[in-house]
Structure 1
Amino acid sequence: MDYQTVYQAITGRHSVRAFTSQTVDKALILELLNVAARAPSGTNCQPWQVYVATGAARDRIVTEVCALHDAARSDKAVAEQYTESYQYYPEQWISPYIDRRRENGWGLYGLLGIEKGEKDKMHEQHQRNFKLFDAPVALFFTVNKAMGIGSKMDIAMMMQNLMVAAQARGLATCPQAAWNHYHKVILPIVGASEDEELVCGMALGYADETEIVNKFITPRVKAEDFTHFVE
């Protein structure tokens, strides 16, 4: 195996925030998912379900969620009605994680020319999530509510496999936890059962290399800084 090819697929992946309108062939999506499904899972239970929304279904989700996102901005009651089914982020942030979060946010906004206090521009950029950054394919990953926290670890590994496989095939992705707030809207549209919980969404398509936002590459902490050898 050429390890450099594998390394390049992993390190070349980043969250793309502008896509072209070029469609993705269904057979290619299934190919990628079959590769991704080789991810490990506890006792090989393979707890994931994946919903691929394109065309009218994709557009309906975008339209309905964008309208709710707009409404939630000015109506606290709407915002309280649409919350995550599980807590993705901590209630109380601590360093160094909050520092990295801020660096990420202001780095992106700085590249886009959005300054602190420009709430309308921030809202518009946040809503780009719910427009899938114009990607033609939306993927929604679910697990059965009966499963434990380990199943979220399992599905996360499968998603990582998918993103790396997509990178290797010239496609781009953006994992999006932002969709989790609107699981009440999304899951009925895609036909998920009431026993399922939305874990994450993902935009899939071909990157628009002309957009400056796709020049934004987040830094990574060196392994020497988070690794502890115990001998």
Structure 2
Amino acid sequence: MSIEIEKMLKRHSVRGFLPTQVDRNLLERTAKTALLAPSWKNSQPVKLFVISGDTKESISQKMIEDADNGVPINPDLKMPDQHDWPDNLHIRMKKHTIERMKYAGIQRHEKEKRLEFQRKMYKFFNAPHLFIFGLDAARPWSILDLGLAIQNIMIAANMSGLGTCPLASSVYYPDRIRETLDLDKNIKLISGIAVGYPDPNDPINQYYAEKLPAEEAIAWYGG
């Protein structure tokens, strides 16, 4: 197995970052991999916004204020009800949450700690950079193209020694992002990724989500 594939197989979500800024050239090379992702009929619908510094902090603070004030989340891509998922999938999701919280040092009954963890999500786990992905005049089919672009970036970042964490929460308050970046309302913000160098001393970075055995997810036919 090649070194590149070995690195790809070791990718996992990083939830504790060092404050070190990523070199601009490396950040640009990583971002440009999104442009190399395939898209339906080469439509290339994905918009990528790379956010750092004071702009990132401003967005983070606005989201925390909204959350603390009880403002309901209003993502452009509506969140599914986890309980509507098939039982076998819901069990995995629940297990993931429980295991992740163990590594974060949070028990189920510790409400304030759980709220603080939510605030960390709105701080993008202190990552120095935030990649936000949008679609211009979003169409359902373009979601597939966006997913391919996101995966390109996460693999490229991992192979360059960077850590990433896809964050649905980064677009829970999309109007806050649009107003800060002065974006057109027709641009729908779908997801985001925290990007930076992993903090090796943060216990939560020792957590690796359990993956299905290949025989449970892959079927072979015809030889």
Q: Is the pair's TM-score, using the shorter chain for normalization, greater than 0.5?
A: yes
Letter in 1 for 2:24: K
SS at match of 2:200: coil
Does structure 2 conserve the Cα–Cα contact (< 8 Å) formed by 1:36 and 1:165?
no
Please show how residues 42-191 of structure 1 align to structure 2 within 5 Å: 42-72=40-70, 78-79=71-72, 82-90=73-81, 92-145=84-137, 147-191=138-182
Correspondent of 2:36 among 35, 38, 44 = 38
Structure 2 unaligned runs (5+)?
Answer: none
Figure out how many residues of one structure are paired with residues of the other and give that number. Answer: 221
Cα shift readout 1:94-116 (whole Å, capped 9, x = no counterpart): 21111111111110111222112
Percent identity between the aligned chains?
Answer: 26
Query: Unpaired runs of 5+ in structure 1?
Result: 73-77
Contact 1:16 1:174 in 2 (8 A): yes
- Give 1:212's aligned residue: 203
Alignment TM-score, normalising by the size of structure 1: 0.90
Shift of 1:230: 4.1
Partner of 1:202: 193
Once the two structures are TM-superposed, the CA of residue 196 in structure 1 deviates from its matched residue by: 0.4
Query: TM-score, length-normalised on structure 2?
Result: 0.93
Kept after mapping to 2: 8 A contact 1:166/1:173: yes
Equivalent-residue separation in structure 1 for 2:14 and 2:172 (angstroms): 21
Displacement of 1:60 in angstroms is: 0.3
Deviations 1:55-80 (A, max 9, x none): 110110111111111111xxxxx21x
The 2-side partners of 1:176 and 1:94 are apart by 23
User: How many Å separate the matches in 2 of 1:197 and 1:110?
Assistant: 34
CA RMSD of the aligned region, Å? 1.5
Quote the Cα distance in structure 1 between the aligned partners of 2:3 and 2:41. Answer: 30
Cα deviation per residue 1:124-152 (whole Å; 9 max; x = unaligned)? 1122111111111011100012x421211
Cα distance in structure 1, aligned partners of 2:211 and 2:43? 32
1:129–1:178 Cα contact (<8 Å) kept: yes
